[in-house]
Amino acid sequence: MPGVMEIPLAGQGYGRRVTGMSLRLRLRHALPGAMRARDKAAVSALRSTLAALDNAEAVRVDASELRGVALETSPVGVGSTEVARRELSEADVVSVVRGEAEERLAAAAQLTAPAHADRAARLREEAAVLLRFLNGSEAGDGAQLVCE
């Protein structure tokens, strides 16, 4: 059908390149499929990465703004303290996703005790899910992570 995008929902298809779709949108669209497939590693990786992206959009607060002000000078009314969130570029999104994958691989590398083998394997699975998204979104970047 023209105009219909097929989005991979489960298994090795997570993060497959869909023309015209941002990395963040592909992450969001893959989450319900991972949930339906009961893929715990993918759900965990996708949820935490989407949360990291939301956190990266938060507006930074200066230390001077954290200091208390007199009650009579504080803003009043619904939405008076709302601030527009930052918009991340596609490069920023790729950087956050890469950081999440690197963090998982580094944590897995530190879990060397046999008692932690299951947790290390889970972290590597989560990193692999994120790396599939990255490898599909970076054209000619040359810098790719290797998941053991």
| pLDDT higher at 42 or 3 | 42
Give the position of tokens 């779709």.
Answer: 21
41, 129 in Cβ contact below 8 A? yes
**Given this model, what pLDDT does residue 120 score?**
94
**CA gap 85, 56 in Å, rounded:** 9
Q: CA of 71: how far to CAs of 24, 68, 75, 83, 105, in Å?
A: 40, 9, 9, 20, 48
What token pair was written down for 102?
């690197």
Pick the closest to residue 15 from 93, 106, 109, 108 (CA basis).
Answer: 93
Q: Determine the Cα–Cα distance for residues 112 and 105; give it in Å rounded to an integer.
A: 12
pLDDT of residue 53: 95
State residue 37's pLDDT score.
95
Query: What's the mean pLDDT in 119-137?
Result: 91
pTM for the whole structure: 0.70
